[in-house]
């Protein structure tokens, strides 16, 4: 299988020493949708941030490699790496409310990417931006191009961010919980839209979420992340019928069903929080010794 994105044994820790990701490996094949599931705090978003080079200051990669389209990103100098990532990957962020610059109109925020990454002329970029907004089903794109972000709803803004992510035709999109900040009714539309855009543009998609229901509908393969470790990597069908790791099985059992709505849910044996707390205690003990 030829991977477009390959993460090899990535270790990530707080600069203070506490590990966040432990030897994480991940493959996303070209044109495929790969789900990345896990509880809050498992480190899902950090994988995406590590790939895009937008990790928070307090974190650092201690070892491991990230290969994007056959290029080892770690081997490139900073400016070069940034260019490569910009040309090949894009992000659909979690919170559409903070992902657009509040003091700029929508139009320039989309066209800027085309000018920055593809070196287009401004007029061409504008025409393309209108087209893209049309593609994500925004009515009256010409007017929206002239609007400020605060004049638009959350769902509209997420559509714009999707349009802008696909604008420069990247071969990999990282969607970091793209529906978490939205209403349930809007969530479904946005999911459908992402799937539609992914197929039309034939991009690989790394879908970060804690929602197994969403994964089952959209992904080809998935990784389950638990306390910074990938504990299971599987094809979709197999995962839902025969999960291997007990945690995966527990996770699936914890899904509420319509057939037995009053039955109590099976809790997951040990949450990430417990595991993390234990980790912190051990780390402190080691430090005090």
Partner 1 sequence: MRDARGDVTRPIGARLWLSGAWLALLVLAALCAPLIAPKDPLMQDLFLGRMPPFWVTGAEPGYLLGTDSLGRDVLSRILYGARLALIVALVAGSLTCFIGATLGLIAGYYRGWPDRIISRFVDIWMAFPPVLFAILLIAVMGPGLVSIIIAIVVIDWTRFARVIRAEAMSQGAMDYVASAQVAGRTRFGTMLTEILPNVLPTIVALLTLEMGIAVIIEAILSFVNLSISTDSPTWGGMIAEGRTSVHQAWWVLVFPLITLFLTVLSFSQLGEGLKDRFDPVLR
Q: Which residues bind partner 1 (CB under 8 A)?
A: 52-54, 57, 79, 82-83, 85-87, 89-91, 93-95, 98-104, 109, 112-113, 116-117, 143, 146, 148, 150, 164, 168
Query: Nearer Cβ to partner 1, position 33 or 91?
Result: 91
For 160-190, the DSSP string reads HHHHHHHHT--SEEEEESTTTTS-HHHHHHH
Angle at Cα 194 formed by Cα 110 and Cα 52, nearest 5°?
60
Return contacts of 55-58, CB within 8 angstroms, 24+ apart.
Answer: 55/12, 58/14, 58/15, 58/16
Query: Nearer Cβ to partner 1, position 54 or 121?
Result: 54
| Rg value, the chain, Cα | 20
Query: Where would I find the beta strands (DSSP E) of the chain?
Result: 3-14, 19-29, 33-37, 59-68, 71-72, 89-92, 172-176, 204-209, 221-226, 229-235
Query: Nearer Cβ to partner 1, position 103 or 257?
Result: 103
Minimal distance, residue 41 CB to partner 1, in Å: 19
Alpha carbon distance 65, 24 (integer Å): 10
Minimal distance, residue 65 CB to partner 1, in Å: 19
Query: Nearer Cβ to partner 1, position 87 or 244?
Result: 87
Query: Nearer Cβ to partner 1, position 32 or 109?
Result: 109
**Paired residues of 174 in beta bridges:** 91, 206
Query: Nearer Cβ to partner 1, position 150 or 192?
Result: 150
Minimal distance, residue 84 CB to partner 1, in Å: 8
Query: Nearer Cβ to partner 1, position 180 or 266?
Result: 180
Token readout for 28 is 């996303």
Alpha carbon distance 125, 134 (integer Å): 14
Minimal distance, residue 82 CB to partner 1, in Å: 5
Phi, psi of 42 (to 5 degrees): -75, -20
């Amino acid at each position: 299988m030829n991977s477009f994105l390959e993460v090899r044994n990535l270790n990530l820790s707080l600069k203070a020493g506490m590990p966040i990701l432990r030897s994480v490996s991940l493959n996303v094949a070209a044109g495929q949708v790969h789900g990345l599931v896990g509880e809050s705090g498992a480190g899902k978003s950090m994988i995406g941030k590590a790939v895009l080079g937008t990790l928070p200051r307090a974190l650092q990669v201690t070892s491991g490699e990230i290969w994007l389209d056959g290029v080892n990103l770690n081997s490139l100098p900073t400016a070069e790496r940034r260019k490569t990532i910009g040309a090949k990957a894009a992000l659909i962020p979690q919170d559409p409310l903070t992902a657009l610059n509040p003091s700029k109109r929508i139009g320039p925020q989309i066209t800027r990417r085309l000018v920055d990454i593809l070196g287009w002329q401004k007029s061409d970029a504008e025409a393309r931006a209108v087209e893209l907004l049309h593609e994500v089903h925004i009515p009256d794109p010409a007017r929206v191009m002239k609007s400020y972000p605060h004049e638009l709803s959350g769902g509209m803004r997420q559509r714009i961010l999707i349009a802008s992510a696909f604008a420069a035709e990247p071969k990999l999109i990282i969607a970091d919980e793209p529906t978490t900040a939205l209403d349930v009714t809007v969530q479904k539309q946005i999911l459908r839209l992402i799937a539609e855009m992914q197929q039309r543009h034939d991009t690989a998609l790394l879908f970060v979420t804690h929602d197994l229901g969403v994964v089952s509908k959209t992904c080809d393969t998935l990784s389950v992340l638990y306390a910074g470790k990938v504990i299971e990597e599987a094809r979709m069908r197999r995962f839902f019928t025969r999960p291997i790791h007990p945690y995966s099985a527990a996770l699936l059992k914890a899904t509420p069903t319509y057939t037995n709505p009053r039955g109590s849910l099976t809790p997951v044996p040990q949450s990430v929080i417990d595991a993390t707390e234990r980790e912190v205690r051990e780390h402190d003990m080691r430090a005090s010794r």
